[in-house]
Amino acid sequence: MTAPVVEERADELTARELRTWRAGWSVASYLPSRYVPGGAFWALNHSLPIFVGLVLKAIFDRVSQGPDVAGTALGLVGVLVAVELLRALAFYGALLLWPAWWHTVFALVRTNLLGSILQDREPPAVRLPGSPAEAVGRFREDVSDLIWFVDVWVDVIGGVVFTVAAFFIMVRIDARITLVVVLPMVAVVITTRLLSRRIRLYHERFRQAGATVGSLVAELFTNVLAVKVAGTSEVAIQRLRDENAERRANGVRAELTTNLIPVCSEVAIEVSIGLVLLLAAPSMRNGDFTVGDLTLFTTYAAALTGLPRWTGRLLGRHREAGVALRRMARLLPEGAGSAAVVAHRPVYVRTPPPEPPAPHRVAADRLELLTVAGLTARHGSSGRGVVDVDLAISGGSFTVITGAIGAGKTTLVRALLGLVPAEAGRVHWNGAHVDDPGRFFVPPRAAYAGQVPRLFSASLEENVTLGWPAAADEMAAALALAALDRDVAEFPEGLATMVGPRGVRLSGGQLQRATAARALIRRPALLVVDDLSSALDVETEQTLWRELGAAPGLTCLVVSHRRAALEQADQVVVLDRGRVAAAGDLGHLLRTAPEMRRLWREELVVEGEEALL
């Protein structure tokens, strides 16, 4: 189904175009030591044909004057060769300088996007698109579209220099024929302008359809077994066919409208040359228009299409860059603006970055008391979450958050850590207000092991450290606390064991404990874990909670319904439909809280809880 064309107000378009041009200027000015000389070489390469036409005119004028003068044209042939060699040198110089600028600004924009996702205040969960393929597309194709927009500027500059000089030369020879040559080029510019809005529209649809297909392919590869056992292979394949057909249709439209611009330019060349031949014939019979003049006009007619072609490409790239800039700006916090996408900062393409400071604890990192007052966080689609939650956690304690499926346990810890946006509430660390939980609760102050283990296709050691500097004894201590040391000892390759994509070579319990070891190796003051032991056997589970509860200086905030965790707890907080139903030690709650007694009896299965929260 074709999406309707969305009409935009003129003032909105103007503001958007200005933002796109400003973003382009910021990209162009980031590395002037490469952009300026490289661009000068490109502009020189495009403008040098002006001398080629003049030399060819002189050569053919002398040859047409007879054999006595024709011999002097040989020297001009040498001049023509020199001009072409100069053009080749300009092209080679541009090729030497241009990639350094291109790859550096590519890294700049990607660094800004990734840095914003990892460091800015607003939780990334509300900014990241719904699929990994969509996010990859914004980091790859959208960044490339913005840089191509700036890339074509130097081509336009070279085309302007050539066109102005060629127009001046041709007008002095014959103004009437010059007008005939120029008019088709003007028609190309007008046509390009009319096509530019369609180019933007189809390009945006093509990007969205491509992201949908990429996401579907990734999901099918990840869930091959689920599709197979469900007997829906044909349905999945047909879905892929349908989505790919939509992508192909949008791609054809985008490519067609974009390629109409060079097609119009080629037609303009043929029309211009034909008109020159028709109008030049009478003047040549009268001697007012020489063979050299005809050669110059036909040479310039072909080269003059460069400016409308590059101008058309510039307008098309401008539309594409506007689409890309808006898509990338959605990865930034609300109100950051598109200027943050291209903000200047150091990037390191050829030289290694400076070593990051070694992590260390300061006095403020030691947790004595963590308090939460009136915390409210709800999901917009369902309205579920937590409402007006109060919580107090003493340093060195073991607190368990429990409740039925959908009670809001995961939402509570994620809102506390700043991983999802909170509507209201205040968090205090040792009495000091935490203004930005997302940036405050990071290692070594706090570490989080989520409900769904996230491992990379790398070695177990790399998955545990993730670049964190850790000595061998620290690694051993983290593995022991996570009850993973015995498993690692049984692996033939030990910590060098490759875990495969998303850790498929590990069992569910090993995945959970590897995630816990990743958090523990950072030696946090506060460890937050979410449903860590659902895939563990009874003995391993008891060992895990016992080790964590006995770790010196470690404060644990645990989401769990498991008895082994509840028995280890100093404090149990029971959630019911997003609110605190009861809190206290386990024995007291079993005597006084009906909800706690029911949970204790049923020991609920939490499979699928994340989708409900």
| Stretch among 18-32, 283-297, 381-395 having the lowest mean pLDDT | 283-297
User: Could you read off the pLDDT of 173-194 as tens digits, one per residue?
Assistant: 888 777 777 777 677 767 766 7
Tokens of 93: 């110089």
**pLDDT reading at 501 higher than 90:** no
**pLDDT for position 433:** 92
Q: Is the pLDDT of residue 7 over 50?
A: no
CB within 8 Å of 592: residues ≥ 6 apart = 582, 584
Which amino acid, 495? L
Average pLDDT, the chain: 81
Place of tokens 């060098």: 496
**Which residue's structure tokens are 């291209």?**
342
d(CA 218, CA 136): 12
Q: What is the mean pLDDT of residues 410-438?
A: 89
Residue-level pLDDT at 506: 82
Point out which residues pair with 556 in neighbouring strands.
398, 527
- Give residues with Cβ within 8 angstroms of 352, minimum separation 6: none
Query: Which amino acid is present at 530?
Result: D
The amino acid at residue 505 is R
Query: In percent, how much of the chain has pLDDT > 70?
Result: 85
The answer to whether residue 8 scores a pLDDT higher than 50 is no
Q: 55 near 82, Cβ under 8 Å?
A: no
Domains of the chain: 17-342 (1.20.1560.10), 364-612 (3.40.50.300)
Residue 394: Cβ-neighbour burial (10 angstroms; 0-12, 13-18, 19+)? middle
- Condensed to tens digits (0 to 9), the pLDDT of residues 472-492 reads 888 998 888 888 888 888 888
pLDDT at 425 over 60: yes
Average pLDDT over residues 395-419: 89
Q: Other C-beta atoms within 10 Å of 389: how many?
A: 24
pLDDT at 183: 72
pLDDT digits (tens, 9 = 90+) for 439-477: 888 888 899 988 878 888 888 888 888 888 888 888 998
Asked if the model's pLDDT at residue 528 lies above 90, the reply is yes
pLDDT at 15: 58
Tell me the average pLDDT across 497-501: 81
Give tens-digit pLDDT for 111-125: 998 888 877 776 766
What lies within 8 Å, CB to CB, of 214 at 6+ separation is 131, 133, 134, 136, 137
Helical residues (DSSP H) of 330-363, grouped into ranges: none
Q: Looking at residues 288-304, what average pLDDT do you find?
A: 79
* pLDDT of 211 higher than 90: no
User: Could you give the CA distance from residue 474 to residue 487 in angstroms, rounded to a whole number?
Assistant: 17
